[in-house]
A and B are shown apart, each in its own frame.
Chain A
Amino acid sequence: MKKRYLIPALLILSVISLFVGVSSISPLDLLDFQSEETQIFLISRLPRLVAILLAGAGMSMAGLIMQQLSRNKFVSPTTAGTLDATRLGILVSMLLFANASMIEKMAVAFLFALAGTFLFMQILNRIKFKDAIFIPLVGLMFGNILSSITTFFAYRADVIQNMSAWLQGDFSMVMKGSYELLYISVPVFIIAYLYANRFTVAGMGEDFSKNLGLKYRSIVNIGLVLVALITATVVLTVGIIPFLGLIIPNIVSIFKGDHLQKTLPHTAMLGAIFLLLCDILGRVLIYPYEISISLMVGVIGSFIFLFLLFRRKAYA
């Protein structure tokens, strides 16, 4: 789990990702700027790579921030209803503004993601029975309630087909012109890094934060805004990628601890690597067809999640 292993792995996988696909492109083709290969490369392959990197890094960081602020290793956008709230937001934006632009959808989805996450944190504060595994179950239930509301209204409004596009994460649709919203997450990453120390302190509780002169509430709120921003952009551009925000921060925490200033870069990189790997596998396994990324991440991710659960039990 050292940077000197993560960076080369990221670079190698990125290059592989650029040159794996139905139409074969070799690096030599790129020398001719007018060739069809170069066009595919620029319109499809490069945007896809950028989207994977940003989404992978973003969802992992969102998960890390949520785990730190909720002080629970099993909380993430998947297990706290954030993803479901975002989807509900997208539905609302589709129903309210018939031809909603990307930015309008983004704004509504962001507000819903924020409200959903905030609501979950409120529920968390009120729960008396704070078992580590009980909390994500509450989150999953909360998410399912939101999800069923979404399905109900989507069904009534006959937009189920439309909605399912956001049900499953999919990078094969990512093309020039459809993914640029993801760049919003770049400044969010920078802000998250600048706040890393404060998040770490907040993760040690309200009393601990106040002792060090920190305004606990505002730090938590800033964290939730960042999480909601990342989630909303990712869900809108590539769809739901489950488990990523859960697994990656946990793996990094085992090896590197919870000092966010030290672990945020690793978490972002490992998230991008994991997602790249899943995407490449998904593209290769049933070539020339593709397994969707949310299925790949879901299958591999749930095995790792189970492993983490059992590992935790062995320690307790």
Chain B
Amino acid sequence: MIQVRELSKLYGKKQVVENVNVDIRRGQITSFIGPNGAGKSTLLSMVSRLLDADTGEVLIDSTNTKKMKSNELAKRVSILKQSNFMNVRLTIRELVSFGRFPYSKGRLNDEDEKMVDQAIEYMDLKEMEHSYLDELSGGQRQRAFIAMVIAQDTDYVLLDEPLNNLDMKHSVQIMKILRRLVDELGKTVIIVLHDINFASVYSDRIVALKNGRVVKDGPTEEIIQSSALKEIYDMDIPIQMMDNCRICVYFNS
């Protein structure tokens, strides 16, 4: 379990994240949602130690992350940021191999190679493993990065808006993969999402932020309610049930 305690972050005088307390359960997908500037990405960055919190602490399985060595932490928690254009020419296999870096420091042993193979096959990238990242489509590249995280073999996988710039087909593909990571490999996934319908259909729990504070925190079906969404987004959003999925019809509200 990841426990976030009284976490705050100031940018200049602006309180971006304010006294946030959240528990993130193991073996589930937890989505962070909320309007722009709510502090979702900042919170995720602090949980994953990319960003230092001004106050508060993050406990991972009861250990304060500040007390953990960065290399040890890299074996427990991985984070993928919005994958901006990378100028580095690496093949998929080379990238995925770097997922083993916390274990092998670049000198891969047989077990590392096996993990890399498994990750590549799990992501269905075997036939293009020697292609360069800059020759791939957005969806393929995102899959390559997820394969790297699988090779990194952390219990907790954090993703910051992984669906950005992806079309519908690839977005669904990525979300299904994340669901499989949780259901088949027992990972814990924490994800910042913009599209509340993806959050609704794929996550177990939802944490809603607004102006740096947690306004809602609970199981998906409790959060995807017109009354709760009104509080989060200041919009009247009707909910429709379709094939057992709660779909938010926000397009003309």
Tell me the complex Cα distance, A51–B91, Å.
35
Q: How many residues of B contact A (CB 8 A)?
A: 29
Q: Judging by beta carbons under 8 Å apart, are B91 and A212 in contact?
A: no
Q: Is A73 an interface residue (CB 8 A)?
A: yes
A115 CB, min distance to chain B CBs, angstroms: 26
Which residue from A71, A208, A253, A257 sits with its C-beta under 8 Å from B91? A257
Q: Is B206 an interface residue (CB 8 A)?
A: no
Which residue of the partner chain B has the closest CB to A254? B89
Which residue from A205, A206, A215, A259 sits with its C-beta under 8 Å from B94? A259
Q: A207-B81, A211-B152, A258-B88 are in contact. List 11 more A-B contacts (CB 8 A).
A: A68-B88, A200-B88, A204-B86, A207-B79, A210-B50, A211-B79, A212-B74, A213-B75, A215-B70, A257-B91, A261-B106
Q: Is A35 an interface residue (CB 8 A)?
A: no
Q: Is A203 an interface residue (CB 8 A)?
A: yes
Q: Judging by beta carbons under 8 Å apart, are A213 and B88 in contact?
A: no
Pairs A–B under 8 Å by Cβ, sample size 6: A207-B79, A212-B101, A257-B89, A257-B132, A258-B90, A259-B91
Within 8 A of B (CB), among A193-217: 196-198, 200-201, 203-208, 210-215
Q: Judging by beta carbons under 8 Å apart, are B71 and A213 in contact?
A: yes
By a CB distance below 8 angstroms, the chain B residues around A207 are 50, 79, 81
Q: Is B219 an interface residue (CB 8 A)?
A: no
Which residue from A72, A196, A211 sits with its C-beta under 8 Å from B87? A72
Tell me the complex Cα distance, A196–B86, Å.
18
By a CB distance below 8 angstroms, the chain B residues around A200 are 88, 90, 98
Q: Is B73 an interface residue (CB 8 A)?
A: yes
Tell me the complex Cα distance, A261–B106, Å.
9
Tell me the complex Cα distance, A24–B72, Å.
63
Interface centre among B73, B74, B101 (most CB of A within 10 A): B101
Q: Judging by beta carbons under 8 Å apart, are A197 and B87 in contact?
A: no
Contact with A along B123-157 (1 / 0, CB 8 A): 00000000010000000000000000000100000
Q: Judging by beta carbons under 8 Å apart, are B49 and A201 in contact?
A: no
Tell me the complex Cα distance, A15–B100, Å.
43
Within 8 A of A (CB), among B66-115: 69-75, 78-81, 86-91, 94, 98-99, 101-102, 105-106
By a CB distance below 8 angstroms, the chain A residues around B71 are 213
Quick one: given A200-B88, A259-B90, are A210 and B70 in contact (CB under 8 Å)? yes
A217 CB, min distance to chain B CBs, angstroms: 12
